[in-house]
Amino acid sequence: MTSNAYSNDLKHKEDELAIQYLPAVKGMAYRLKERLPSSVDFSDLSAIGTEELIKLARRYDEALNDSFWGYAKKRVYGAMLDYLRSLDILSRASRKLVKAIDYIVEEHLLTHNEEPTDAELAELLEESVEKVHDARIASSIYTVMPLHDQLHIGDEGAALAKVEKDQLVDVIRNILSAYKEREQMIIQLYYFEELTLKEISDILDITESRISQIHKSVIQKIKESIGA
């Protein structure tokens, strides 16, 4: 076999390897999209994942990794998260607005057992409905990010950067131990099982608003625990 023919044969095998796992990439993009607002397009996530899959197929060495999908899965998902990060969805101004919204939503839930509308929030904050809507979308996108990303949003990042990874894990473990078993289950299902708020709501018979409230409470307590 000539050098050119060998190269073409190798490229064909690499492309076949990528094609074999395209349904898995689309499934991953679909599951991620289920947890995101409508402004994020499924086709964009799928295209980013597919592009990364093809790159990985062409770099894959079966002598070093006996499972291609095992090698590629985290990298493909990571590429999709990198795409979401690249949207630069939280400016300094919107971070402040998100914090203000979170505070009002938490207070409103205690008295009304449901989240306020964008219009109600806009009136209370003396902001436009559009700004409130965009800030809530940005906040909901960040909730699918790993805890590490969420903890480094805003001015807390500098304080968190000084915390060792093992120390942070201990902080998270201690904070979660103070929550009830069902609330711990919410964090487990959301971050490790990657279920949607609706799926968790159906399983645990808790409203989506309450699940969101618990999630934000955990994030805030972690930040407070390390002095951020």
Does 159 score more than 70 pLDDT?
Answer: no
62-113: pLDDT as tens digits: 777 788 998 899 999 999 998 988 876 666 667 788 888 888 888 887 788 7
Is pLDDT larger for residue 53 or for residue 134? 53
pTM score: 0.67
Place 6 in a pLDDT band, splitting at 50, 70 and 90: very low
CB distance 191 to 205 below 8 Å? no
Place 17 in a pLDDT band, splitting at 50, 70 and 90: confident
Q: How far apart are CA 171 and CA 159, in angstroms?
A: 14
Q: Work out the percent of the chain whose per-residue pLDDT is above 70.
A: 81
Residue 59: half-sphere exposure toward Cβ, Cα within 13 Å: 10
Does 3 score more than 60 pLDDT?
Answer: no
Q: Which of 160-164, 197-201, 216-220 has the highest mean pLDDT?
A: 197-201
Does 43 score more than 70 pLDDT?
Answer: yes
Q: Give the pLDDT mean for 149-166.
A: 57
Does 40 score more than 50 pLDDT?
Answer: yes
